[in-house]
Chain A
């Protein structure tokens, strides 16, 4: 038992020392009333270059077929916490767009076979419903999760986020196909 403690003690100390050096499991608190979940859902508000550094991806080999084929990309590279689940309170089914929805003849068509794009890395950022209330203005997401996160119960926060949304919309580059990997 003493031997195994000799092994585990340095191992534990090393883990504690190295946690936070690179791997970050808690977002630094920068917004009042933001939960860790909010930070996960609202990256672009503070990190407009998020698509350049999609945390959650690991460095290394991302074969082309991981990007092209949903089954490979999702299985081997898409972190589960990027999924937008129906039960997380922010999910809106995109399949409800009807024939009366406004059409654009200027926007690019939606990405195809873009299975590995991190959420909130392109297009309009989401608004966060911190208390899980109904969205005020659903926005469409690109990305494989296919979900839409929206909603707000705080007017200040809502206007602030909408402002950011507008700003980011003006500044963001067009969405590139089959991108998201680190060059």
Chain B
């Protein structure tokens, strides 16, 4: 009996090794999708609403509002993020058939019907401080209207993440210490830097128009270690290191209108952003039994293109309510239109995109209260930034609150600080093995409760 169980176990592990690169639905997950880190402490303190803001960050939110900047400005900002991931492993297994389709969320394979696992959870966190933005805006002297040029770089997407999980599989009834104990840790870092050049100009006393072009550069480093041990029987270890280099470009056009002294609104259209991704992969595994050892490593490179869809944004501002200003921004993106190109294998994955991505409507709302005599601004806001993935992989939407304060020193310098707290929950499939040689894979479901705390510090000098 014990021998039969061991044979089953070896099938699991052996197939795990042989199908380590098997494609499944989350192979289409792109870390750049729906990944908006935020630019400018003033905007981030107001929930991330910046469509009607009149500082250098307008280059990224709505270039039409560059036209509202009357002085030469240099803005620089830093950001700090503390990222915390609390994972738990549901003692469930999903069946994914040979066509990589999940038949039903509640269907589990018969082979693992008797699967038992001890509940487990693990928390991991990391902290990073990065350059957030450096933007210079130069208004050209005008006799009427406005013409302002902006150039800058901002870290608009963040890849700094951490994740760990562990579980003990008791379904083979081997008894401790023979139970299967597995633990994995994932470490990611990097981000996208968006280099932008933009122009804002007045089309009428109330209406401004602006446009910007952007070049995206960045790197994503991914490191995953996984150990699966059954004490006294075998040990399996795998490592994966992936480095993605991004190069992309896109453009944005916007309008801003001040309807009256109380109300203004803005509209922007972000073009599809085209990324060229250059990926280097290194894989390693080892399998050890009492009298047997096997190891292998592989290194290869992949190139592919990925195209982000249009982003349509609208924002409004109500001001002069006492010394208070209220802002509200919306973004609409249909992430199911994300697509791959320039790589046959990845283009084949385009069929799976609609099964994983959906369209989302983000909103950010905030307010600012000015204390003129002190040169001080108090800010707060809320945001709802839905994950671009379908409900099946989403546990809790991404949302949070923001707080901030700003000071204006001696007519020329602003210092703004923002605190952003956000949280969301998601789940992902983790390949665990297959029950037979027919090709039916089995996945564990890992739930992640993620919280992040970000601090933005921005200072601007107006000459």
**Residues in chain A within 8 A of chain B (CB atoms):** 3-4, 7-8, 11, 14-15, 18-19, 21-27, 39-40, 55-56, 58-63, 65, 68-72, 74-81
Q: Which residues of A contact B205 (CB under 8 A)?
A: 22, 58-59
A25 touches B249 (CB 8 A): no
Check A24–B70 contact: CB distance below 8 A. Answer: no
Q: CB-nearest residue of chain B relative to A53?
A: B144
B397 to chain A minimum Cβ distance, whole angstroms, is 32
* Docked-complex contact A71 and B139, CB < 8 angstroms: no
Q: Tell me whether A75 and B412 are in contact (CB under 8 A).
A: yes
Is B142 touching A11 in the complex (CB atoms < 8 A)?
no
Are the C-beta atoms of A25 and B142 separated by less than 8 Å?
yes
Q: Pick the contact of A15: B139, B141, B211, B323 (CB < 8 A).
A: B211
| Contact indicator A80/B201 (Cβ below 8 Å) | no
Task: Report which residue of B72, B146, B199, B271 has the largest number of chain A beta carbons within 10 angstroms of its beta carbon.
Answer: B146
With A56-B70, A60-B258, A80-B463 as contacts: A72 and B372 at CB distance below 8 Å: yes
Interface residues on B, range: 35 or more
CB–CB A61/B319 < 8 A? yes
In-complex Cβ contact of A70 among B147, B319, B411 (8 A): B411
Could you show 27 A-B contacts with beta carbons less than 8 Å apart?
Answer: A7-B213, A11-B253, A14-B211, A15-B199, A22-B202, A23-B202, A24-B142, A39-B143, A55-B145, A58-B258, A59-B205, A59-B206, A60-B206, A61-B261, A62-B261, A63-B320, A63-B370, A65-B323, A65-B370, A71-B409, A74-B412, A75-B411, A78-B70, A79-B139, A79-B141, A80-B72, A80-B139
Nearest to B202 among chain A residues (CB) is A23
What residues on A are CB-neighbors of B70 within 8 Å?
A: 56, 58, 76-80
| Chain B residues within an 8 Å CB radius of A56 | 70, 142
- What string of 1s and 0s marks CB contacts (under 8 Å) between B249-262 and chain A? 11101000010111
Binding site for A on B (CB under 8 A): 54, 67-68, 70-72, 139-147, 199, 201-206, 209, 211, 213, 249-251, 253, 258, 260-262, 264, 271-272, 274, 319-320, 323, 370, 372-373, 375, 408-412, 414, 462-463
A63 to B403, CA, bound (A): 23
Cβ contact of A63, chosen from B140, B141, B202, B323, cutoff 8 A = B323
Kindly provide the distance from the CB of B176 to the nearest chain A CB, expressed in whole angstroms: 60
Bound complex: CA A26 to CA B140 (Å): 11
What 4 pairs across the A-B complex have the smallest Cβ distances? A23-B145, A65-B372, A60-B258, A81-B141
**Cα distance A24–B141 in the bound complex, in angstroms:** 9
Neighbouring A residues of B319 by C-beta, 8 Å? 61, 63
Give which listed residue, B143, B209, B271, B373, contacts A24 with CB less than 8 A: B143
Chain B residues contacting A68 (CB-CB under 8 Å) are 372
In angstroms, Cα B373 to Cα A164, docked, is 41
- Please give, as numbers and ranges, the residues of chain A lying within 8 Å of B370 by CB-CB distance: 63, 65, 72
Within the complex, the shortest CB–CB distance from A172 to chain B, in Å, comes to 21
Inter-subunit contact A4/B213 (CB<8 Å): yes
Chain A's closest residue to B67 (CB) is A58
**Apart from A11-B211, A56-B70, A81-B141, what are 11 other A-B pairs with CB-CB below 8 Å?**
A11-B251, A14-B209, A22-B145, A40-B143, A58-B258, A61-B258, A74-B412, A75-B408, A75-B462, A76-B70, A80-B139
Most buried by B among A14, A25, A70: A25
CB-based nearest A residue for B143: A24
Among A8, A55, A70, contact of B143 (Cβ-Cβ < 8 Å): A55
Give the contacting residue for B213; candidates A8, A61, A72; CB below 8 A.
A8
The smallest C-beta distance from A69 to any residue of chain B, in angstroms, reads 5
Residues of A within 8 A of B199 (CB): 15
Please give me the residue from chain B that is nearest to A66 by CB atom. Answer: B372
Q: Is the CB of A22 within 8 A of B144?
A: yes
* A77 CA to B370 CA, complexed, in Å: 16
Q: Please measure, in the bound complex, the distance between the C-alpha atom of A122 and the C-alpha atom of B54, giving whole angstroms.
A: 28
Please state if B261 and A40 are interface contacts (CB–CB under 8 Å): no
A8-B251, A59-B205, A70-B411 known; A23+B463 contact, CB < 8 A: no
Question: A74–B463 Cα gap in the complex (Å)?
Answer: 10
Residue of A nearest to B322 (CB): A63
Q: Which residues of B contact A59 (CB under 8 A)?
A: 205-206, 258
Residue of chain B at shortest CB distance from A37: B141
Of B144, B209, B264, the residue contacting A61 (CB under 8 A) is: B264
**Interfacial chain A residues near B410, Cβ < 8 Å:** 71
- Chain A nearest CB, measured from B62 CB (Å): 15
